[in-house]
Amino acid sequence: MFTKSQALFEKANQVIPGGVNSPVRAFRSVGGTPVFMQHAKGAYMYDVDGNRYVDYINSWGPMILGHAYEPVVKAIQEYATYSTSFGAPTELEVTVAELIISMVPNIEMVRMVNSGTEACMSALRLARGYTGRNKVIKFEGNYHGHADSFLVSAGSGVATLGIQSVPGVTAAVAEDTLSVPYNNLPAVEQLVAENPDQIAAIIVEPVAGNMGCILPQAGFLEGLRDICDKNGIVFIMDEVMTGFRLAKGGAQELFNIKADLVTFGKIIGGGMPVGAFAGKREIMEHIAPAGKVYQAGTLSGNPIAMIAGYTLLKTLNEHPNIYTQLEEKTSALVAGLRSALGAAGVVHQVNHIGSMMSVHFAEYPIVDFTSASGANNELFRRFFHAMLEKGVYLPPSAFESWFISHALGQEDIDFTVEAAKASMQAIKA
């Protein structure tokens, strides 16, 4: 079934560390050989062996309208004839920034970068430069990219590989990164009290997507906002996953919480390599060349990424009913999976919000990294491979959120539910 993928993985291991260019692709959490993809369209991906999969990764979020969305593809093709990069300003960068500001509440300026990692790294540097403080508070299992500061108690790939202390991250950096459990306000309050006037920023995934999909408990985000207000701390919302996915205005709109800085990922480039950080003018004008906090990038605001992102975001902005339909599809999938797993007598939890979800094989609610880690992840491994063989491509780790695309149809949902039933029957046989 995966003959060509196996051969390619053996070849890749000779020239690429671990055979992959991003760790979670290696299938270390679930075992087996990673599947090499050839093309994708709508709700489906197709591998080099000709197998078709209903896709629940969607490039980790940005393919919200499905793969190879025709207006985006046509826009990319047109703009590629102008040049793939200028290294100089373009009008399109301004247009995209204006569109983002019009869609997202509480931001006044945007700086384009090249990835979600770069966006979070730059936002943190800006917060430190703005406040003159060095320490930052993050949450266990929240992943903000692979910049040094964020690899302390990170989720996702770091958790998947069982890495507790990342070589290459200096002790000084680690000491300035304070980590507490997600959804635990008293722990945050204690850290702030123990480090008076030293905390530059609190950074959080408003909905965690790197230890499964984990929702903020009532009052959690509001409490963080209050702590930041009282202590002169910059509140950073990492919306690399939730931005433009949970709502037009992301988690800020959905939860009615105002952040000081917000980070975005590749959805603002229609899946192209791009990111951005944004926020209040008072803070953003500390970034060079307006201010002294340095940040730069030759490909920032790349024209191909900008036209792809503009085309996608404009569609989402003009058709807000897309979000209602996405939630309806996700709810139908969640109900079907709960029924299938329950009928099989499998203890499980399904977390979901908007078009994000995750399945955990546990008896208790999954509310933080500790509870996610304690689930039956060996059963998830077997479930993943059974679903893969039946044509359903899930995240190859129990520590990752699933993402639903608008291209997903009811027939795909039904197919997935039936695959889950058959998978559990095979596992229990």
pLDDT tens, residue by residue, 50-83? 999 999 999 999 999 999 999 999 999 999 999 9
CATH topology for the 70-318 domain: Aspartate Aminotransferase; domain 2 (3.40.640)
252: helix, coil or strand?
Answer: helix
Residues of the chain with CATH 3.90.1150.10: 3-68+320-428
Residues of the chain with CATH 3.40.640.10: 70-318
Question: What pLDDT, on a 0 to 100 scale, did the predictor assign at position 8?
Answer: 95
pLDDT (mean) for 317-342: 97
> Residue 174's pLDDT band (boundaries 50, 70, 90)?
confident
> Residue 41's pLDDT band (boundaries 50, 70, 90)?
very high
Q: Please indicate, yes or no, whether the overall pTM of this predicted structure exceeds 0.75.
A: yes
301 pLDDT higher than 70: yes
Question: What pLDDT, on a 0 to 100 scale, did the predictor assign at position 166?
Answer: 63
Question: With 0-12 CB in 10 A as exposed, 13-18 as middle and 19+ as buried, what is 15?
Answer: exposed
Q: CA–CA separation, 277 vs 238, rounded Å?
A: 9
Going by C-alpha positions, the residue among 305, 344, 38 that lies closest to residue 361 is 344
pLDDT tens, position by position, 123-168: 999 999 999 999 999 999 999 988 777 777 645 455 444 545 567 7
Compute the half-sphere exposure of residue 114: CA atoms within 13 Å on the CB side of its CA: 8
Question: What pLDDT, on a 0 to 100 scale, did the predictor assign at position 338?
Answer: 97
Q: Between helices 70-80 and 303-318, what is the axis angle to 10°?
A: 150
pLDDT tens, position by position, 373-397: 999 999 999 999 999 999 999 999 9
pLDDT tens, position by position, 396-419: 999 999 999 999 999 999 999 999
Q: Return the active site residues.
A: 143, 238, 266
Q: How distant, in Å, are the alpha carbons of 46, 272, 345, 352 from that of 402?
A: 18, 19, 23, 9
Going by C-alpha positions, the residue among 69, 58, 3 that lies closest to residue 36 is 3
Q: CA–CA separation, 392 vs 24, rounded Å?
A: 17
pLDDT (mean) for 330-343: 97
For domain 3-68+320-428, which CATH number applies: 3.40.50.2000, 3.30.420.40, 3.10.28.10, 3.90.1150.10? Answer: 3.90.1150.10
